Amino acid sequence: MGKNTTITNFDQNRIAEKEIQKNEKSKIMDLLGRFTAEMLRDGMRKSHPQPEWGDGETWRRYYIEECQRRGKRLLEQLNWPSHENASYVNIYTGHVERLIEISDGRPVAVNLWSTVEHWEPYDAAKPNQYKIEYLKRAIEQIRQLKQKKKKSVYESGEISQLPGYEKEIAVEKAKSS
């Protein structure tokens, strides 16, 4: 028979440790529950938010749990659209998707933390600055590739993308005119 399987055979220290962990989580979730939506978003964007006290591990899982607890209300607190067809832009690549697509077809609240961490509302009438910056970085990398004497097939393919990237930037910048 395994350890801790009867009422007379239990580990008091293990039970006490579980109780301490439960109380600690409760304190953390209480604190995060008092965070503004902007504070929660900023913490999520740090990727691995550090604990507010102690020297423990990242609080990422608690931030994710708080995002899931708030659900679509978190988007509304950020003054972001919460309907499934709302357009969002990835802050790293400039890629645009609808909120339901970001959720991979699951209820929006399930992956809401990912939306808050990696996306922002998109306005098609304005230049997509995230896309412009992403393409500028890609163009810089291509220009460095062009300096190489010998190029792989992959690198040659990348270089052929340069005119298209430059055109995409021009299209985005034209939106501000």
pLDDT digits (tens, 9 = 90+) for 90-110: 999 999 999 999 988 888 888
- Render pLDDT for 8-29 as a digit per residue (tens, 0 to 9): 667 777 877 788 778 888 888 9
What is the per-residue pLDDT for 157? 83
Question: Who contacts 32 (Cβ-Cβ below 8 Å, separation ≥6)?
Answer: 40, 59, 62, 63, 66
What is the per-residue pLDDT for 48? 75
User: From CA 66, how far away is CA 86, in angstroms rounded?
Assistant: 22
Judge if pTM exceeds 0.75: yes
